[in-house]
Structure 1
Amino acid sequence: MTTKNVLGTELVPCSYDPLTGYFRDGCCNTDASDLGSHLICVRVTATFLAFSRARGNDLSTPRPEYRFAGLQPGDRWCLCANRWREALEAGAAPPVVLESTHINALEFVSRVQLEKHRFHNVTH
């Protein structure tokens, strides 16, 4: 069975560099153990990184103990659906790569909300 994205087509990898995803497989795949619902593939921005840091989740500082180099603006990352929605409500939502966003994201936000923040360059 093929995993679907929010467009109803096959889920495309989000990023291998930095390596993202709940399973660190490059994709926004999920299962019942993914309590954070890392479903939305985004292209992080400086505005979003500052917003996330202010909310207690510093994604830009390297954490070598987790093999995490820290994110820079322009990096792609599988973001928790609730964090994206929170950023949306605060005016800080990063652009979304729809082809790489898991269909389960629609349980948290609407397709229209995601499409309004669509990132159009799908090169990896």
Structure 2
Amino acid sequence: MSGRETETETQRNVLGEALETCSTSPLTGFYRDGCCNTGAGDHGVHTVCAEMTAEFLAFSKYVGNDLSTPRPEFGFAGLKPGDRWCVCAARWYQAYDEGCPAPVFLRATNEATLAIVPLAALKECARDLS
């Protein structure tokens, strides 16, 4: 077992449960394992499982992180509305403050997010609360 597997196998979501998969198509996550796992090398804290909207993609591009333009040299097809993606917690929170947050999936959002984003903000935008 690699160090990364040890690091990610016990990660929890913001509800204190086992972290669920965010997306395998497109394949997301800092480690490209489909989950919003994080570790020492993830300086951007890519821990929020968000459903892309046109508004969020435009905001992200405006503030310097273009997620919609394909980058074939990196094997990145570009995101479109409806895709789920592990986004940086600080960027998601910035979009929230600006009034254009992407919907989130709490069961696939890493608990590490809570060091940056209040649970109440995530719950306001949750798609998976019953």
TM range (shorter): over 0.9
**CA–CA separation in structure 2 for the residues paired with 1:120 and 1:97:** 6
Which residue number in structure 2 is paired with residue 95 of structure 1? Answer: 103
Alpha-carbon offset, residue 3 of structure 1? 1.4
Alpha-carbon offset, residue 120 of structure 1? 2.8
Alpha-carbon offset, residue 70 of structure 1? 0.3
Percent sequence identity is 53
Aligned pair 1:86/2:94, yes or no? Answer: yes
Alpha-carbon offset, residue 29 of structure 1? 0.3
Which residue number in structure 1 is paired with residue 119 of structure 2? Answer: 111
Alpha-carbon offset, residue 69 of structure 1? 0.4
Which residue number in structure 2 is paired with residue 13 of structure 1? Answer: 21
**CA–CA separation in structure 2 for the residues paired with 1:56 and 1:3:** 29
Contact 2:22 2:28 in 1 (8 A): yes
Q: CA RMSD in A?
A: 1.1
Which residue number in structure 2 is paired with residue 57 of structure 1? Answer: 65
TM (norm. structure 1) is: 0.95
* Structure 2: unaligned runs, 5 residues or longer: 1-8
Which residue number in structure 1 is paired with residue 32 of structure 2? Answer: 24
Alpha-carbon offset, residue 53 of structure 1? 0.8
Structure 1 stretches (4+) deviating beyond 2 angstroms? none
**CA–CA separation in structure 2 for the residues paired with 1:60 and 1:119:** 22
* Structure 1: unaligned runs, 5 residues or longer: none
Aligned pair 1:3/2:11, yes or no? Answer: yes
Higher radius of gyration, 1 or 2: 2
**CA–CA separation in structure 2 for the residues paired with 1:102 and 1:84:** 13
The number of equivalent residue pairs is 121
Which secondary structure does the structure 2 equivalent of 1:118 belong to? Answer: coil
